[in-house]
């Protein structure tokens, strides 16, 4: 038997990976047992002040202590982390180390900060050396990292499943990231009970991140349409593929069932909170391998150049556009742009997101219409104008989007600068 020849110019391979998962009410109380399996004797718990005030990190420290694992709590995570905040967190970890492992407790900000700490305390170099090109050096980790257990306290980023971390580079006023499979957490511990006290505004913004992860991944460029890569050239985002599709479809089904309920009745509905945590993790298992595209690329300058918007439900000490909110603001227009590349995928995503939605006369409007109806219902601002931008700001936003070539490469229809400017302009108001 001989192996048939293949076309060496077209891609035939996709990659998929995800961490082991422990999911369910009370799961955080088993972290001590899990850490002993990695031989950890001293662990740094990484969190932010808001999550620490809820007592969750201390509860995890008690779990570690029951298994004779000592720990310290670092609560200096900055919500929507920056290069400055990640550098300070790393300096603390280096000064207080060495550590046998890390536990990240919080939203994507805490988990992403812990990923950066783990990377920078496990090898040489500084933060900018590892940030994706063209903004940073794009350096790969030098070897294995320490065990990292990720404990999400918001249903949104899916960072517990993914191999990237996201941050603002303050000097450039742009959001970017680090992407490498070694950043993926060693274990995801997902406990829906820790999300019961989230304010509706946080639930809404975080949930829109899940929506965009799932829909962008599902509509991303199909993996076989890329040029063939050498093994050493393979990147974390390989394009939509059969395995990622399964996770995204399930995430969208859960969102359709429980997103609105989690926003409006989340303080009492454990089932809705459970669905949202599962949707976030599932969407992470999807997009963390296939990739996201225009809505996320636009979100980086939208968040990085914010002037005075302070969303209710979030810390008020400085202006910010929460990540999940920022990715949603141009999503309807972005999916109008990408529709022709894969009409049936866009229509299927709309059907999964809202099975009861009336069919619109123009198929191109089906998915944007479903998203706008959802965003209006849960209180997302009306376009980028709702967070302080005008049409006059578009020329300043476009370069930040175009820097995100890692994301734009995953778009099934490659956008030009003029295309991005049009999407942003038409997203000043979504309804």
Asked whether 206 and 324 are in contact (CB, 8 A), the reply is: yes
Residue 5: what pLDDT?
A: 61
Q: Quick check: 3 pLDDT over 70?
A: no
Question: Rounded mean pLDDT of 126-137?
Answer: 90
Q: Residue 41's closest CA among 19, 75, 73, 65?
A: 65
Give tens-digit pLDDT for 156-204.
888 898 888 989 888 887 778 898 889 999 999 999 999 999 999 999 9
Cis amide bond preceding 98, omega within 30: yes
Asked if residue 1 has pLDDT above 90, the reply is no
Q: What is the pLDDT of residue 96?
A: 96
**DSSP string for 18-85:** ---EEESTTGGGGHHHHHHTTT-SEEEEE--HHHHHTTHHHHHHHHHHHTT-EEEEE--PPSS-BHHH
* pLDDT band for position 10 (cuts 50, 70, 90): confident
Query: Residue 112: pLDDT band by 50, 70, 90 thresholds?
Result: very high
Give the contacts of 57 (CB within 8 A, at least 6 positions apart). 45, 47, 51, 73, 75, 105
Of 158, 159, 157, 155, nearest to 194 by C-alpha is 155
Q: What's CA 344's distance to the chain center, in Å? A: 25
> Is residue 369 over pLDDT 70?
yes
Using a pLDDT cut of 90, give the percent of the chain over it: 83
What integer pLDDT is reported at residue 6 of this predicted model? 61
* pLDDT, the chain, mean: 94
Q: What is the per-residue pLDDT across 94-108, written as a single tens digit (0 to 9) for each? A: 999 899 999 999 998
Contacts of 346 (CB under 8 A, 6+ apart): 219, 335, 338, 339, 363, 364, 366, 367
Is 298:397 a contact under the CB 8 Å cutoff? yes
CA distance 292 to 202: 22
Rounded CA-CA distance 271/280 in Å is 14
- The pTM for the full model equals 0.92
| Closest to 276 in 3D by CA, of 180, 110, 156 | 156
CA angle 113, 105, 187 (to 5 degrees): 90
Determine the Cα–Cα distance for residues 340 and 159; give it in Å rounded to an integer.
30
Q: Would you state the structure tokens that stand for residue 13, as one six-digit string?
A: 């391979």
Tokens of 357: 């939605």
- What is d(CA 211, CA 430) in angstroms, rounded to the nearest whole number? 17
**pLDDT tens digits along 269-328:** 999 999 999 999 999 999 999 999 999 999 989 998 999 999 999 888 889 999 999 999
pLDDT-based confidence at residue 331 (cuts at 50, 70, 90): very high
pLDDT reported for residue 343: 97
Phi-psi category of residue 390: left, alpha or beta, with phi > 0 → left and psi -120 to 50 → alpha: beta
- DSSP letter (8 states) at residue 154: S
For residue range 197-251, what is the model confidence (pLDDT) as tens digits?
999 999 999 999 999 999 999 999 999 999 999 988 888 889 999 999 999 999 9
Report the relative pairing of strands 174-179 and 164-169 from DSSP bridges: antiparallel
> What are the tens digits of pLDDT across the range 21-61?
999 999 999 999 999 999 999 999 999 999 999 999 999 99
Percentages helix, strand, coil for the chain (3-state, rounded to 5) are 50, 10, 40
Sign of CA dihedral 235, 237, 239, 244: positive
Helix/strand/coil for 169: strand
């Amino acid at each position: 038997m001989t192996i048939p020849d293949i076309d060496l110019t077209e891609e035939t391979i996709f990659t998929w990976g995800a961490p082991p998962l422990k999911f369910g009410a009370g799961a955080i109380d088993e972290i001590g047992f899990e850490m002993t399996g990695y031989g950890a004797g001293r662990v740094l718990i990484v969190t932010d002040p808001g999550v620490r005030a809820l007592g969750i990190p201390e509860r995890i420290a008690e779990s570690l202590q029951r298994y004779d694992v000592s720990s310290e709590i670092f609560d200096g995570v900055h919500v929507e982390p920056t290069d400055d905040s990640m550098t300070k967190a790393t300096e603390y970890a280096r000064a207080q180390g060495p550590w046998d492992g890390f536990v990240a407790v919080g939203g994507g900000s805490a988990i992403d900060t812990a990923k950066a700490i783990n990377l920078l305390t496990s090898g040489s170099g500084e933060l900018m050396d590892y940030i994706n090109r063209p903004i940073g050096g794009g350096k790969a980790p030098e070897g294995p990292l320490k065990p990292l257990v990720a404990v999400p306290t918001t249903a949104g980023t899916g960072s517990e499943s993914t191999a990237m971390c996201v941050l603002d580079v303050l000097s450039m006023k742009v959001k970017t990231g680090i992407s490498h499979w070694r950043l993926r957490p060693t274990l995801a511990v997902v406990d829906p009970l820790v999300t019961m006290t989230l304010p509706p505004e946080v639930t809404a913004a975080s949930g829109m991140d899940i929506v965009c992860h799932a829909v962008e991944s599902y509509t991303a460029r199909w993996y076989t349409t890329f040029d063939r890569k050498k093994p050493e050239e393979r990147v974390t985002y390989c394009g939509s593929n059969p395995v990622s599709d399964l996770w995204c479809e399930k995430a969208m089904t859960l969102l359709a069932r429980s997103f609105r309920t989690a926003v409006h009745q989340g303080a009492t509905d454990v089932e809705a909170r459970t669905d949202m945590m599962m949707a976030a993790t599932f969407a992470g298992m999807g997009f963390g391998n296939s990739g996201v595209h225009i809505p996320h690329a636009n979100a980086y300058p939208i968040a990085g150049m914010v002037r005075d918007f302070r969303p209710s439900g979030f810390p008020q000490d400085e202006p910010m556009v929460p990540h999940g909110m920022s990715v949603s603001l141009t999503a309807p227009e972005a999916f109008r742009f990408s529709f022709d590349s894969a009409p049936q995928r866009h229509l299927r995503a709309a059907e999964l997101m809202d099975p009861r939605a009336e069919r619109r006369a123009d198929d191109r409007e089906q998915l944007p219409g479903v998203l706008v109806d959802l965003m209006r219902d849960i209180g997302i601002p009306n376009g980028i104008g709702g967070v302080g931008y005008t049409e006059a700001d578009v020329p300043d936003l476009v370069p930040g989007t175009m820097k995100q070539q890692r994301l734009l490469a995953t778009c099934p229809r490659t956008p030009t600068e003029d295309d991005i400017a049009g999407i942003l302009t038409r997203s000043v108001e979504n309804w």
